């Protein structure tokens, strides 16, 4: 008899039946290939990632909110306490505003004539359609809000989005809307929302335009780098796990994962890496881009704890397919958690990381100086190798 039966479960799925629940469908029929990885992703997220007091960060890339996934999936995860902090592209947050402001987006077709759409004032994001006025009205809302006195200073992107979310929540109430926007939900549940590239979206473009009218609003990216690291450090030093739930890849993925090198490499504070890694992506690893970089590669950078590498899952599938399924699975399998309201702790966490760095990290790294005056050595390949004093 084969020894396989001692190491692996037998592949014998249940027949799909009428009225089958999503969680049962995943558990009993998603057995192999990326269906198998999706089942592993569901169980990892619902089991170890949100277990106990674990801190879960989510990164968002791709046009998720225009497709309605903010309202349908992300907001329910925030409400259930399953996601504690977010790093997103600015575009996802900008298009999220359309929903919070009661604007209309439509399910269209990717095969329309774009010249005709331009002439008719219609914007297309693959098969999502909306009027050009949606952009103009959203821009006007952002500009009106950021003229307020509370915005006339330098702040991190999490504080900026929290304040913006406050006004979106007020507009939702006025329009009689409920649970439509990620930013308004993040405001209500105290979930910090960062963007890794503040100028790379229509929100940032409007902030830049208002600077020409002498607005004093500036987004402090240094604060963001240290604040995100402070969230992770607070979790790990407090005995909790730190998990990353990555949808897509890109800059938000790196910004989330670089929290550990910021703590270890730059600040010189002892740490082992994030505990759990879950990514849904269509990016290949063999092109060298960060979007497709595997959790194994992340271990080499200190981003992931090597002891937990077997628990890391990469599902090569479209996030617009995987996110609703993972959300439905988690909501049916796990009880809601109390929201951690990490935004309310931002100053305390920041101060704790700064204190640790000034006390210990700086001393630990002072010995690692590169001698810039020293003549570079030549390696066997002929490439220069800079000497480093120890």
Query: What whole-number distance in Å separates Cα of residue 237 and Cα of residue 246?
Result: 23
- Dump the DSSP string for 48-80: IISSTT-EEEEEE-SSTTTTTHIIIIIHHHHHT
Parallel/antiparallel/unpaired status of strands 276-281 and 242-247: parallel
The catalytic residue among 236, 253, 303, 340 is 303
CA distances 364 to 194, 222, 267, 359, 361, Å, are: 29, 21, 8, 9, 5
Q: Are 39 and 30 in contact (CB under 8 A)?
A: yes
**What CA–CA distance (Å, rounded) separates 333 from 310?**
22
Q: Which of 325, 345, 275 is closest to 77 using CA atoms?
A: 325
Cα gap 304→228, rounded to integer Å: 16
CA distance 202 to 71: 20
* C-alpha torsion sign, points 352, 221, 167, 341: negative
Q: Is residue 374 flagged as an active site residue?
A: no
Tokens 């607005």 — which residue? 215
Catalytic residues: 303
């Amino acid at each position: 008899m084969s020894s396989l039966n001692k190491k692996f479960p037998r592949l014998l799925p249940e027949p799909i039946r009428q009225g089958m629940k999503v969680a049962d469908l995943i558990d009993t029929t998603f057995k192999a290939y990326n269906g198998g990885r999706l089942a592993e992703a569901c169980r990892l997220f619902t089991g170890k990632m949100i277990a106990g007091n674990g801190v879960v960060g989510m990164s968002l890339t791709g046009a998720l909110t225009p497709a309605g996934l903010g309202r349908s999936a992300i907001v329910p995860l925030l409400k259930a306490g399953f996601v504690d902090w977010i790093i997103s592209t600015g575009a996802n947050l900008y298009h999220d505003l359309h929903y919070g402001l009661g604007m209309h987006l439509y399910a269209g077709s990717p095969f329309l004539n774009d010249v005709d759409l331009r002439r008719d004032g219609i914007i297309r994001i693959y098969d999502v359609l909306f009027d050009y006025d949606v952009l103009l009205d959203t821009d006007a809302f952002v500009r009106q809000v950021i003229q307020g006195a509370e915005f006339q200073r330098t702040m991190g992107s999490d504080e900026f989005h929290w304040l913006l979310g406050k006004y979106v929540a007020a507009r939702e109430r006025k329009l009689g809307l409920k649970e439509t926007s990620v930013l308004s939900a993040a405001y209500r549940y105290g979930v910090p929302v960062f963007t890794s590239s503040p100028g790379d979206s229509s929100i940032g473009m409007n902030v830049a335009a208002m600077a020409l009218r002498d607005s004093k609003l500036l987004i402090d990216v240094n604060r963001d780098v240290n604040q995100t690291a402070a969230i992770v450090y607070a979790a790990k030093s407090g005995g909790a796990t730190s998990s990353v739930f990555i949808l897509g890849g890109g800059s938000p993925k790196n910004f989330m994962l670089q929290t550990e090198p910021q703590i270890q490499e730059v600040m010189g504070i002892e740490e082992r890496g994030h505990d759990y890694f879950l990514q849904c992506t269509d990016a290949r690893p063999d092109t060298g881009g960060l979007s497709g970089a595997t959790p194994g590669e992340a271990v080499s950078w200190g981003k992931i704890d090597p002891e937990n590498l077997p628990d890391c899952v990469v599902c090569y599938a479209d996030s617009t397919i995987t996110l609703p399924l993972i959300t439905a699975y988690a909501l049916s399998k796990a009880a809601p958690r109390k929201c951690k309201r990490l935004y309310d702790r931002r100053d305390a966490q920041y101060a704790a990381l700064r204190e640790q760095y000034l006390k210990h990290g700086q001393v630990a790294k002072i010995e690692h100086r590169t001698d810039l005056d020293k003549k570079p050595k030549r390696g066997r390949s002929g490439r220069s190798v800079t000497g480093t004093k120890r």
